[in-house]
Amino acid sequence: MGRCSLAVILPVLSVMGIQPVALPTVVLSTHTGGFGTPARMDGGAYGASALEHYHALGLEFECIYTGYLGGEEQVALAEKAFALWPNARKVVDPVMGDNGKAYSTVTPAFIDRMRKLTAQADLILPNATEAALLLQKDPAPAELDEAAAQALADALVTLAPSAVVTGLPMGKYIGCAGSGKDRFVIKKLHIDRSFPGTGDLYGAVLLGSLIQGNALSAAADNAAEFVSLAIQKTPAGQDTRFGVWFEPLLPRLCPQREF
């Protein structure tokens, strides 16, 4: 409940012409932002068995993409997937915090473990808070210019070959910055509304665009534009806990194909 994580990622990737295979690391009745304490079912044992089954079948995956991980056991599950499919593109969204603070369940040990996971990735997608946690720096200031945004993204090359930092405060704009071979800063007009799940939505559109063959800067721009539009199209009176109304916009992501 709440339009985040797999509830967002699966339909986006599917409509972009990609077959996603979901491996739930932890199942929650709702997201953790405003619905009280959710019911929880750990998926670690299932996940390990599922990975072994896929590997025994000889399946190959083009990409392994990790999002919310509920603890160190779930990080180990991602590490196992990386080891079983070393040739897959590895994308890590190090979900650990937002708005300058780590989530209440995120411990120093978990941050260290996540830092090690990002070192195995080809691309990481932290927001500004998570970038600071990974780099052991103070949270980003109240406002950044383009040079500071680019510098923050570039600092992450010590952890991963490529990174896109999202949620960068840039005056009347909200920005993202990319490091690696394709350095860039993208700005969109800041919309003063906050929803859970927009980071998952951003990551899914970006990843789908990459798999479709777009450059990282173009994929990041596609994702930022889609999320911005989804926020704008969500009715003003909507309870923000339920996320953005992205579903009517999914046709925009469909590749142009003849059947």
Domain holding 68, by residue range, is: 6-246
Report the candidate in 223, 235, 172 with the shortest Cα–Cα distance to residue 199.
223
* Domain-embedded: residue 133: yes
Question: CA–CA separation, 146 vs 185, rounded Å?
Answer: 7
Residue 105 backbone dihedrals phi, psi, to 5 degrees: -85, -5
Domain contains 85: yes
Q: What's the CATH code of the domain at 131?
A: 3.40.1190.20
In a domain, 21, yes or no: yes
The answer to whether residue 214 sits within a structural domain is yes
H-state helical runs in 90-241: 108-118, 128-135, 146-155, 198-211, 216-233
Residue 251 lies in a domain: no
Q: Dihedral (C-alpha) 200, 170, 105, 227: value to the nearest 10 degrees?
A: -20
Q: What is the pTM of this model?
A: 0.95
Give pLDDT, residue 42: 86
Is residue 256 in some structural domain? no
Q: Specify the higher pLDDT residue, 135 or 34.
A: 135
Q: Is 5 helix (H, G, I), strand (E, B) or coil?
A: coil
Token digits for 181?
Answer: 């071979």
Cα distances (angstroms) measured from residue 145 to each of 68, 176, 216: 29, 11, 21
SS3 9: helix
What is the crossing angle of helices 108-118 and 72-84, to 10°?
10
Provide mean pLDDT across the span 23-42.
90
Contact between 224 and 188 (Cβ < 8 Å) = yes
- In the chain, % of residues over pLDDT 70: 99
User: Is the confidence at residue 208, as pLDDT, over 80?
Assistant: yes
- What gap in Å lies between CA 35 and CA 92, rounded to an integer? 26
Number of folded domains that form the chain: 1
In this structure, which amino acid lies at residue 177?
A
pLDDT in tens, 81-113: 999 999 999 999 999 999 899 988 899 999 999
Sign for the pseudo-dihedral over CA of 150, 155, 156, 160? positive
Q: What is the pLDDT of residue 258?
A: 59
Question: Does residue 259 lie in a domain region?
Answer: no
Nearest Cα to Cα of residue 229 among 203, 202, 207: 202
- Tell me how far apart the alpha carbons of residues 73 and 131 are, in angstroms, rounded to a whole number: 22
Considering the domain boundaries, does residue 225 fall inside one? yes
Predicted confidence at residue 182, as pLDDT, reads 84
Q: How far apart are CA 35 and CA 254, in angstroms?
A: 33
Could you give the maximum distance between any two Cα atoms of the chain, in Å? 52
